[in-house]
Amino acid sequence: MSTASRKPIVSVIIPVYNSPDYVGQAVESVLSQTYRDCEIIVVDDGSTDNTCTALQPYLDRIQYVYQDNQGSAAARNRGICEAKGELIAFLDADDFFILPEKLAAQVACFDAQPSLGSIHTGWRIINQRGETLSEVEPWHKIPELNLETWLRWKPIRTSSIMIRRIWLERAEGFDVQLRQSHDVDLVLRLALMGCEAAWLPQVTVCYRLHDRNTMRNALKQAECVQAVLNKFFSRSDLPERIRQIEPQVRYSTLVWIAWYQYYTGHYSRMVKYLQESFSYTPYSAMETISDWSICFRTFSSDRGYRHDTYSLSNLPEWKQAIRYVLNLTAAV
């Protein structure tokens, strides 16, 4: 890794909060990169356990910063302020790089295309035991990254990103009011500002699913995703073509939120969001119900889980959502 006496090209920022079991692997995965002209900044967001002890073996090779707990957005912003590199990469403390050439390959993309503002990659989803659940390669379905595709599909994993520091400064970093989904908010703002993004079409990072993931907080996740969309569509500077697709974006996002409530066992909340999605649906009643089922199966597959259509169709709350749609259409 780059020494402190010179400015590195790349700064890798790792926010951490109470993650002593995983943060060492995250740091090791950066130390193992073939690209050496980089620094590692670990921002401890007020850990109350032995996270600092877990980092002791690496203190001579990382920059360790402690702050009171403010959330991962604030921790990432602190890392950006501390960073010396012109290119910023992010890595969550419970994720890790699996491609030794990840940083080198992303830097090469920037060198080859100076107009690029950010480079994104695919990721592997693993469980708590490290077993592979699925590999996510979004470029097959979403070859171009622009404002519309970010908005429609949100194909982002923070640990895969490398971005020019100048764009982060222009965007004033992550929105600290958002405890989750601030990465989606950031890429939307950047795209609206004209930041050009592209894929490095390789799976470079492992995203670990475990009981303490912030994504496991399904209720907060739902609130934050909707807050991002509310914030975005309240802007007065949106292109007309983007404003016109708001109903489609709202529909697909609400169906995803409903699936996430189902996935995490919040069935009554699933009903709530399915009902909300129906007010934006571009389909007939029966087509909407069919689309819900297809989406649930697709979202489960993307996470590496086998979808049980029979169990879903017999779930009382699922039947309740269907009755809601059929009763509404019958009353018209």
pTM score, whole prediction: 0.94
Class of 10-215 in CATH: alpha beta
**44 Cβ contact list (under 8 Å, min separation 6):** 16, 17, 51, 52, 55, 64, 65, 66, 67, 75
For residue 231, what are its two tokens?
A: 């914030």
Type of residue numbered 152 = R
Closest-CA residue to 253 (of 299, 189, 287, 209): 299
Q: What is the DSSP pairing of strand 132-136 with strand 38-45?
A: unpaired
**Per-position pLDDT tens, the chain of length 332:** 764 557 999 999 999 999 999 999 999 999 999 999 999 999 999 999 999 999 999 999 999 999 999 999 999 999 999 999 999 999 999 999 999 999 999 999 999 999 999 999 999 999 988 999 999 999 999 999 999 999 999 999 999 999 999 999 999 999 999 999 999 999 999 999 999 999 999 999 999 988 765 455 778 889 999 999 999 999 999 999 999 999 999 999 999 999 999 999 999 999 999 999 999 999 999 999 999 999 999 999 998 888 999 999 999 999 999 999 999 988 75
Domain boundaries defined on the chain: 10-215, 245-331
